[in-house]
Amino acid sequence: MPIVIYFGDFIGDKPSDNQGEDQWRIRLSLAKQWAEVVNKHGGKVEVIELPKVGIKGNTHFPMSDTNNVQVAEHLAEWLKEKGLDK
């Protein structure tokens, strides 16, 4: 069963003294590590950083942001690619 994890925008790439900001950098890093381990054992995990696929401005809850239709369309396409849209 394929798994997808979405991350929004404004996630730093360096440690920050602001714990609120830094938690998302850490979560993203851990998600990538987890995906790598699962995939090594035959899993199918993808971590999608929305800004890297051209969807910008999202918070930690992208399905409720003002561009939620764009996010939903991306997810629908992902489901279709995996044959899970039926």
Give me the pLDDT at residue 43, please: 98
**In the chain, which residues have pLDDT < 70?**
none
Distance between start and end Cα atoms, the chain: 14
Best CA proximity match to 8, nearest among 29, 22, 28, 38: 28
CB atoms within 10 A of CB 64: 10
Give me the pLDDT at residue 86, please: 84
CB 19 within 8 A of CB 38: no
Q: What is the DSSP letter of 57?
A: S
Give me the pLDDT at residue 82, please: 96
Give me the pLDDT at residue 7, please: 97
In degrees and rounded to multiples of 5, residue 38 shows phi and psi of -60, -45
